Amino acid sequence: MEPKNEMTKEDIKYCLLLFISVILSYFQLSFFIFSTKWDNLSAFFPYKYTASKWWLSGILPLWDPYQNLGYPMHANPQGFVWYPITWILNLPSGYSLYSLNLETVLHVVIASIGMYFLAKWLKMKPSTAFLAGLTYGLSGFIIASNHMVGFTIGAAWLPWAIYSLLLVLNKPTIRSVFLLAIVCYLQITGAYIAFTILLFYIFLFLIVQHIILNWKLKAHLKQVTGRLAISLILILILSSPYLFSIYDSLEYFSRAKALDYDIENYARNFNWQCFQSLFAPYINSSKAGFEGVDVSLSNIYIGIIPLLFLFLSISSKKLKLNKLYLLGIAVALLLALGIHTPVHYWFAQILPGFNLFRHPYLFTLYFTLLSILVAFKLVDSINEQSIPFIRKVLGYGLILLGCIWLFSFIKAEKSDFISFFKELAQLPEKTSYTRFFHAFIQLSVSLILLTVLFVKAKNLNTFTKVLPLLIFIDLFIAIQLNGPTNMYYNIPFGKINQNLGKLSNAGLTNQEFDTPLASLSNNKIQSQSGFWVNLNTYQRTTGTDGYNPFVFSSFEELKESLEFDSLSKQGICYLDDSNGQISQLNLDYNAFGIECTTDINSRLYLNQNYHHNWKVYINDKEYSLEKTDLGLMSVQLPTGRQSVEFRYGSKKVSILALISVATFLIIIVYLT
C-alpha cells in the first residue's frame, strides 16, 4: 500500500518547521542584512530587473537593446522571462534587490518541503522525512551554489519533480497529472538548462523501471501511459513560449552547439580533494581553499551525523537497501569528478545533451539527494533494540574523528588561534588561516555534536528528541561559516540597494543616437559593490558588451573582426548620406523610432543584431529590412523627411504566452 498524498496536520507542522529552519539558517538574506552575491547580483539581477519593466508596462519582454548590440531576452535560457515566480516578485513595482533575496530563500524553502514529501512518499515516517528535508535545504550544494539562482531553482524543483512523477506512476489521478505538469514547467523555465536535461534521463529511468516492475498489470500501465501523455501535453503547452522562443532563435545562438571536450571547458570544478568537504567544507574559506577549484563548485556537506548514517547504511548487511541508490550515488560522484575520471567523457560522448553544459559539479546535487534518502532510510528503521549498536558506531566515529581533529590541531598555525574571532567577525570571503585550522574549527563542532548524541542516545526516546536539534545546529553552523564565501557580501544590504538606486535609470535609455558605442562599455560605467557586469543593461544604455548566455554568432565574429573598432566609433544609428540628418532617436519597448531627412536615396543603419522577427516601417509602410555583412540591420530610405520605426515582435510567441498563462491559472485554481 502506497503512502497517502493528502496534506495532513502533521505535514503542515513539519512544513512550517522547515520554513522557519530555512529562514533562520539564511537569516542574512531572509531579513535583508546582506545581499546575495556574485552571479545573482551582477549577472541575473539585471535580466530580471529589465524584463520586469516590460511586464509592468503590459508588454512582452522580447528584445533587450542594451547588451552586445541587442538580443532576444525572451530566448535567453537563463533570462527568467517565462518563470512565474519571478513574475510574482515583479509586483507591485518591479523586480528589486529585495525580490532577489526573497527569491533565493524562497527556493531553499521549496527544496526542503519537496524533499520532505519525497521522503514521506518513500515510506519514511513524517518525523524522519522532516530531517531529510532539513538536511537537503541546508546542504553544502545549496550553500555553495546559492549565488547562482538557476542552480538553486534546479535543486528546489528536483525532489518535487521526482515526487510528482512517482504520484502519476502509482496514483494516476488528474490532480497528480496537473502537479507533475506545473512542477516540470517551473523546472524548465527557471532552472539552469542542464538540470532539465538531467531530469529527462531521471524520468526516463523511473518510467522504464516502473514498466518493468508492473509489466503484467496491463490496465494499470495503459492508464499510466495516458496520464503521462496528458502531463507531457500540458508541460509543452505551459512551456511553449519558452521552448518556441529558444527554437525560433537557435540559428543565431552561439551556444546552440555541443562543447568541445576541452579540459579548459570543465576546469576549476569538483575534484578528489573536494571530498574533504564531506566533513569540513569550511576549508573552502581558508586562504588556500581547495586548490584549483572554484569555491562555488566544491561543497558536498550533508552534516556529520547524516554522513555517519550514510556510511553505516552502505556497510549494513541487515538494511535491505536498494542497490540502485548506491549505484546512483557512485555514478553521480564519478560524473561530478569531471575530467578527473573518464566517466564524464563517456557520458558526454554517448548521451545527447550531456555535452551542452559545463560544471560537472552539478552532479553532486544528485549525490546529495540520494545520500540523504539512504542515510535517513536507516534512521527511519532504528528501534529500541538497535540503539546499543548505534551508540557503538557513534563511539568508533568519535575516535576516528578525534584522530583527524588532533592531526588538524597539530598542523594548524598557532597564530591563527589568536586572531580567529576578530577576523571571523569581519565576515571575509577568504580568511588568512590555513586549511588545517579551518578543518580544526569545523571538526571541533562535529566532535561536540557527536559526543552529545552519544551521551544522550541511551534509548530511542532521547535519541529521536535530540537528533533533529543536533542536525540543525550542525548545518546552521556550517552555513554561517561558509556564508561569507558563497552566499552574501559583507556590505550592508541598504548600502548596496542605495548604490543600485543611484546607478539605475528610470527611462528606457540615456544614450543619444550619435554617442559612440565605444564609450558605452561596462568599464566606462562606474561599478558598484558586487556589480561589475551587465551595468549597461541595468543603467539602460545600449552597448557592445555584457555577460549573457545568449550571444549572437555573428556578434562574436564581429568582435573579433577589424571592422569592430570602426563600428564602435559610430552611434546606435547613422546614415551613409553625409548631408542627411537624424533629428531624434526614440527607444521604445521592443522598438526603435528614428526621424531622419535625406537629399538622396540613402541607407539607414541600426547597430542592433539582425533577427528575422525585426520589421521596419517608413511612414507606417513596411519596407524590406536587410542584414548587413556585420550581422546588423539597415534599410534603404527614399528622399525627404522620413519617420522610421524598427519593431521586434512575434505573433506566435504572443499567442503561446496567452495560452500558457491561461493554462497555468486554470491548473493552479484546480490544485488549490
Q: What is the pLDDT of residues 487-509, one digit of tens each?
A: 999 999 999 999 888 888 767 77
Q: Write out the three cell numbers for 276.
A: 574533504
**348 grid coordinates:** 558526454
pLDDT computed for residue 4 by the predictor? 52
pLDDT given for residue 308 in this prediction: 95
Grid cell for residue 79: 533570462
Mean pLDDT across 297-301: 96
Portion of the chain with pLDDT greater than 70, in percent? 97
| CA-wise closest residue to 126 among 7, 247, 276, 261 | 7
pLDDT, residue 415, reads: 84
Average pLDDT over residues 321-337: 89
* Cell numbers given for 623: 519596407
SS3 273: helix
| Span between the terminal Cα atoms of the chain, in Å | 26
Residues in the chain: 672
**Is 172 within 8 Å of 210 (Cβ atoms)?**
no
SS3 content of the chain, % helix, strand, coil (to 5): 60, 10, 30
d(CA 388, CA 368): 28
Give the helix ranges, DSSP H, for 533-594.
Answer: 535-539, 553-560, 563-568
Grid cell of 255 as nine digits: 551556444
- Rounded distance between C-alpha atoms, residue 89 and residue 48, angstroms: 10
In a 13 Å sphere around the CA of 667, the CA atoms on its Cβ side amount to: 23
- Any residues with CB less than 8 A from the CB of 267 and at least 6 apart, and which? 292, 339
Sort residue 207 into left (φ over 0), alpha (ψ -120 to 50) or beta. Answer: alpha
Helices (H), 613-650: none
Helix, strand or coil for residue 491?
strand
Q: Which amino acid is at 461?
A: N
User: Distance of alpha carbon 272 from its chain centroid, rounded?
Assistant: 24
Place of cell 527568467: 80
Entry pTM: 0.95
Grouping H, G, I as helix, E, B as strand and the rest as coil, residue 434 is coil
Q: Is residue 600 very low, low, confident or very high in pLDDT (cuts 50, 70, 90)?
A: confident
DSSP state at residue 552:
B
Sheet with 602-606, side-by-side order of all strands: 573-575, 602-606, 633-637, 626-627
Cell for 474? 550542525
C-alpha cell at 202: 531521471
pLDDT of residue 508: 73
Residue 670 phi, psi (nearest 5): -65, -45
Average pLDDT over residues 133-149: 96
Ranges 168-172, 327-331, 550-554, 574-578: which has the least confidence = 574-578
| pLDDT at position 422 over 90 | no
Whether the link from the prior residue into 3 is cis, omega within 30° of 0, is no
Per-residue confidence at 542, pLDDT binned at 50, 70, 90? confident
Cα–Cα dist 309/390, whole Å: 9
For residue 304, give the nearest of 80, 135, 85 by alpha carbon: 135
**Quick check: 5 pLDDT over 60?**
no
pLDDT value of position 568: 87
Specify the 3-state DSSP secondary structure of 594: strand
Q: Which amino acid is at 423?
A: E
Q: Where are the alpha helices (DSSP H) in 382-486?
A: 387-411, 414-424, 435-456, 460-486
pLDDT per residue as tens digits for the range 452-492: 999 998 899 999 999 999 999 999 999 999 999 999 999 99
Give 318's pLDDT tier (boundaries 50, 70, 90).
low
CB 534 within 8 A of CB 546: yes
For the chain, give the mean pLDDT: 92
Please give the pLDDT value at position 171. 87
**Predicted confidence (pLDDT) per residue in 58-106, tens digit:** 999 999 999 999 999 999 999 999 999 999 999 888 899 999 999 999 9
Q: Which of 362, 379, 369, 364 is nearest to 306 (CA)?
A: 379
- Check if the beta carbon of residue 86 is closer than 8 Å to that of residue 152: no
Tell the burial category of 191 from Cβ atoms under 10 Å away from its Cβ (0-12, 13-18, 19+). buried
Question: What pLDDT sits at residue 540?
Answer: 85
> What is the model's pLDDT at position 234?
98
The predicted model gives 255-270 an average pLDDT of: 83
In this predicted structure, what is the pLDDT of residue 92? 84
Cell 532504528 locates to: 382
CA–CA gap between residue 86 and residue 89 (Å, rounded): 5
The predicted pLDDT at position 558 comes to: 93
Q: What is the pLDDT of residue 108?
A: 98
Whole-angstrom distance, CA of residue 83 vs CA of residue 65: 21
Res 532: pLDDT: 82
pLDDT at 416: 85
Residue 578 pLDDT greater than 90, yes or no: no
Query: In the 8-state DSSP scheme, what is residue 547?
Result: -
Tell me how far apart the alpha carbons of residues 111 and 133 are, in angstroms, rounded to a whole number.
Answer: 8
pLDDT at 3: 47
Which of 372, 448, 399 is closest to 135 using CA atoms? 372
Where residue 521 falls among pLDDT bands split at 50, 70, 90?
confident
pLDDT category at 320 given cuts 50, 70, 90 is low
Q: What is the pLDDT of residue 425?
A: 85
